[in-house]
Amino acid sequence: MAKRKSSKPSAGQRVRVNEGVCMPEYPDVIIESWTGMVLETQGRGATSKVILEWDDAALEAMPASYREQCESQNMLYTMACLPMSDVSIDD
């Protein structure tokens, strides 16, 4: 019997942020449609998260003010940790 294709992203897959999603640490930064590569997943069920690295298109769409805020707080703006329910596999 063939394995079912999972709808949950895994390491190495490209994902797209779902409509209406904001950056968790900065709710004024809307990140819908941003894309990136999954580095790892954590947790199970409703608490599962995806750690991703933004691709060039997302970095170009990123507001300079967000980059500056991240840098001032020693946070990486090139990566994010989001609830798995906030992203979809980007075929």
**Would 6 be classed as within a structural domain?**
no
Residue 40 lies in a domain: yes
- Res. 9 pLDDT band, cuts 50 70 90: very high
Full domain range(s) for residue 39? 14-89
The domain total for the chain is 1
In this structure, are residues 47 and 67 in contact, taking their beta carbons and an 8 Å threshold? no
- 46 — pLDDT class (breaks 50, 70, 90): confident
- Residue 45: how many CB atoms within 10 A of its CB? 6
- Domain presence at residue 3: no
Determine the pLDDT at residue 49: 97
Task: Kindly state whether residue 65 falls inside one of the protein's structural domains.
Answer: yes
Q: Is the pLDDT of residue 83 over 90?
A: yes
In whole angstroms, give the CA distance from residue 42 to residue 69.
26
Q: How does the average pLDDT of the chain come out, rounded?
A: 92
Q: What's at 34, amino acid-wise? A: W
* Beta pairing partners, 33: none
